[in-house]
A and B are shown apart, each in its own frame.
Chain A
């Protein structure tokens, strides 16, 4: 990435510390790829939660201590006693042979847990394994690295398994249950997308060592989760091929952030002007700055993005149809606001040429509703 773009992104972030991507925020890239505001905030490493809060729309994200504890406890259980339970399920799913039990704990290197050190150590061991001279099958918490929009991002899968047929498998350990062979598809998808970032990062590492990345890293993810209502783990393959391709595409788009930056007005910044930890920037000035950038609000942003409440308020103010979500929105192709829909419905606005077909249907629907309103006014 060239220097001017970098400078612009730094200016956008202002005095705040750069927030690095992580597997979760990378996975979020897939959710609303067309949103410029989100792309810029992420690429500049801005603190979305702090910005949303200062703008008056604190995000509602937070994790329950119960969910957190459960997740940690389950991972510990799966790895306890020398990975005994994990070996059992991997022998079943991956078909690991009895001799394949070697393991390496990559959580630290001789007590040093700095990311760079761990990454170096990980690279050495995994490349060695790929070259056929490794001594292990299970690599616990390897530290991978991926370049996103010109910046190094460290990523840490739960575990990587290296099978004797010279292939790495990303193993994701999740605490949501697989009940009668089925898990919640939403949770599976989010786990898989997260794992895709690991697949891409691991392939990157091997490519640099001159190893064929596609052959060496499977795009089948191994999902390890509790079976039914027990604590006993079970494992299943999840095909992540499509999602790996999608995330690769989104990462490539990030490299083109330059095009977005060039369109921004001079001097634009989302700096909160903190003083002793307290944001001092006048709220209106911040919201003015945010309003300079297009946001593509969708109702499911409420599940993913820290800025969602802000964007929703803005969409409401504009009477934007985005508020209603895509199912309603697609009925009114080419029209963006409730005001315009009602104008066309009442015949107060003249449709443009490409709106004409939709407008006929709309007026018809409006006539039907008007008849009904008249017939049922006051009733029920």
Chain B
């Protein structure tokens, strides 16, 4: 955390209201996001209890597993949810533009869940579904493995910084607002919303207290509150089981209806908060570079669509050594790019970087726009120099390549020297791009004297790192299974045990 972000939190604490930490929303917010609120059963490994799903506030579908410990009911739930989600995904596979390698869908889906726990719940569900067989003694509906693979794709995409196919709403909110509470408490959607937009007629202090009361604000999941489990849910499931055992259809229908109503009441407040949060986020302008990042999301969506159409295998349980290295490299690069994009677009984020000396801004106090030097190949090249006086505690070394949000995109520069003078710093930079030639210098290629300008390091473009092909890795890094993963490598019998009515 930088000094600027820490200070923003203290300001929020003092003023008892959330404060802005960005000028923009750096994520594309779809016109038609699919909100998914998954609930799971406490103590069970990824046992779904319910989900509320829909792409508009008035169009919610509630799915409930009456007995989460029953395997058949779990997969019936997975099939129902799978139908809804794949239908939504397919609705984005209509408008395709471009030719050959560049061909891609013009829009991409966006799933929104309340918090990172919601993503974990979907990841578990994805893992549970993607290897299931649609034939044999424990067959599941065709959509189940398909849904599992799509969900895995979305969850893996969500690991990459700056993407927006699957996002936690708490994360989107905290990117734009700082609260006067801890990051741990910010994971609670209701208490985060209490800071940003307390319910009418309630002050922040009361709203924060209410947000932590399971009576007033049932948790946004994925687990339900123990109080609800013990007081309401356990007896309701027990009634369902009793009706099921007795084969009493009237009682069974009543028990199911009761469970639905009970869970609807728990999930409804979160549903409302999700859409409140979405409309708050809509009011924040989208950052200029979000569009280009979204384009990459569209490309990833297109390529996975095509892979699925080609009957591609489910994703591995665990990466191979090379796969893991490649993934790590990709994630690191994406993070650097995203941070740089944000700083470039957003003066708030730039200020953050400036406060730790990773960027600087100031006034041009000296400029030599016509400076010409001889290149290595003995050509005369234009190498203008400018000196900027800044209050920022610059920690960039000579030679660092720079870009500036205040200059045309072609503008590139390099630090020549950083010298302290009085309480300030004098940074001399040499312009290396976008300045034209000695004969035809560009008019706006060099910042003018007295002008205010900011620079930050150029994240640069680097080629994807080279990794050995799988068959040339040393044996120590071999994955034991060169065959595609499948749960068939374990006994279906064993898997079935887990879902049975064993005890």
Q: A299-B185, A376-B23 are in contact. Are A364 and B230 (CB under 8 A)?
A: no
From residue A70, how far is it (CB to closest CB) to chain B in Å? Answer: 4
Q: Which residues of A contact B227 (CB under 8 A)?
A: 62
User: Is the beta-carbon distance between A65 and B229 smaller than 8 angstroms?
Assistant: yes
Q: Which residues of B contact A364 (CB under 8 A)?
A: 3, 355, 391-393
From residue A271, how far is it (CB to closest CB) to chain B in Å? Answer: 28
User: Is the beta-carbon distance between B180 and A323 smaller than 8 angstroms?
Assistant: yes
Most buried by B among A77, A175, A180, A324: A324
Q: Which residues of A contact B176 (CB under 8 A)?
A: 380
User: Is the beta-carbon distance between A179 and B354 smaller than 8 angstroms?
Assistant: no
User: Is the beta-carbon distance between A66 and B184 smaller than 8 angstroms?
Assistant: no
Instruction: Answer yes or no: A300 CB below 8 A from chain B CBs.
Output: yes
CA distance A292 to B1 in the complex (A): 33
User: Is the beta-carbon distance between A180 and B127 smaller than 8 angstroms?
Assistant: yes
Closest to B185 in A: A299
Task: For chain B, residues 216 to 251, give those with C-beta under 8 angstroms from any C-beta of chain A.
Answer: 223-227, 229-230, 233-234
User: Is the beta-carbon distance between B46 and A229 smaller than 8 angstroms?
Assistant: yes
Instruction: Answer yes or no: B9 CB below 8 A from chain A CBs.
Output: yes
* A-side interface residues, number (CB < 8 Å): 59
User: Is the beta-carbon distance between B229 and A66 smaller than 8 angstroms?
Assistant: yes
User: Is the beta-carbon distance between A177 and B46 smaller than 8 angstroms?
Assistant: yes
User: Is the beta-carbon distance between A176 and B45 smaller than 8 angstroms?
Assistant: yes
Q: A77-B503, A368-B354, A369-B4 are in contact. Are A319 and B284 (CB under 8 A)?
A: no
Instruction: Answer yes or no: B7 CB below 8 A from chain A CBs.
Output: yes
Name the one of B10, B46, B124, B317 contacting A341, with C-beta atoms under 8 angstroms.
B10
CA distance A226 to B181 in the complex (A): 36
Instruction: Answer yes or no: B470 CB below 8 A from chain A CBs.
Output: no
Q: Which residues of A contact B497 (CB under 8 A)?
A: 230-232
Instruction: Answer yes or no: A332 CB below 8 A from chain B CBs.
Output: yes
Q: Which residues of B contact A264 (CB under 8 A)?
A: none
User: Is the beta-carbon distance between A175 and B43 smaller than 8 angstroms?
Assistant: yes
Task: For chain A, residues 317 to 371, give those with C-beta under 8 angstroms from any C-beta of chain B.
Answer: 319, 321, 323-325, 327-328, 331-332, 338-339, 341-342, 345, 361-362, 364-369, 371
Instruction: Answer yes or no: B498 CB below 8 A from chain A CBs.
Output: yes
User: Is the beta-carbon distance between A179 and B124 smaller than 8 angstroms?
Assistant: yes
User: Is the beta-carbon distance between B285 and A380 smaller than 8 angstroms?
Assistant: yes
Q: A232-B497, A324-B180, A324-B182 are in contact. Are A361 and B10 (CB under 8 A)?
A: no
User: Is the beta-carbon distance between B230 and A361 smaller than 8 angstroms?
Assistant: no
* B-side interface residues, number (CB < 8 Å): 66
CA distance A331 to B499 in the complex (A): 50
CA distance A330 to B176 in the complex (A): 22
User: Is the beta-carbon distance between A325 and B184 smaller than 8 angstroms?
Assistant: yes
CA distance A324 to B1 in the complex (A): 12
Instruction: Answer yes or no: B283 CB below 8 A from chain A CBs.
Output: yes
User: Is the beta-carbon distance between A300 and B184 smaller than 8 angstroms?
Assistant: yes
From residue B307, how far is it (CB to closest CB) to chain A in Å? Answer: 21
Name the one of B5, B127, B212, B494 contacting A232, with C-beta atoms under 8 angstroms.
B494
User: Is the beta-carbon distance between B226 and A328 smaller than 8 angstroms?
Assistant: no
Name the one of A62, A68, A230, A345 contacting B494, with C-beta atoms under 8 angstroms.
A230
Q: Which residues of B contact A327 (CB under 8 A)?
A: 1, 6, 183
User: Is the beta-carbon distance between B318 and A323 smaller than 8 angstroms?
Assistant: no
Q: Which residues of B contact A342 (CB under 8 A)?
A: 10-11, 14
User: Is the beta-carbon distance between B7 and A366 smaller than 8 angstroms?
Assistant: yes
Most buried by A among B3, B348, B494: B3
Q: A69-B43, A369-B351 are in contact. Are A229 and B184 (CB under 8 A)?
A: no
User: Is the beta-carbon distance between A226 and B45 smaller than 8 angstroms?
Assistant: yes
CA distance A302 to B224 in the complex (A): 17
Name the one of A228, A299, A324 contacting B9, with C-beta atoms under 8 angstroms.
A324
How would residues 162 to 200 of chain B score, 1 for a CB under 8 Å from any chain A CB and 0 otherwise? 000000000000001000111111000000000000000
User: Is the beta-carbon distance between B6 and A331 smaller than 8 angstroms?
Assistant: yes
Most buried by B among A231, A232, A325: A231
Task: For chain A, residues 212 to 232, give those with C-beta under 8 angstroms from any C-beta of chain B.
Answer: 226-232
Instruction: Answer yes or no: A372 CB below 8 A from chain B CBs.
Output: yes
Can you list 11 A-B contacts with CB-CB less than 8 angstroms, sorted by A residue number? A179-B45, A181-B318, A229-B45, A230-B498, A232-B494, A299-B182, A319-B13, A328-B5, A338-B14, A376-B347, A380-B284
For the complex of A and B, 10 pairs with smallest distance between CB atoms = A67-B43, A230-B498, A177-B45, A299-B182, A70-B43, A64-B42, A325-B182, A331-B6, A62-B226, A64-B229
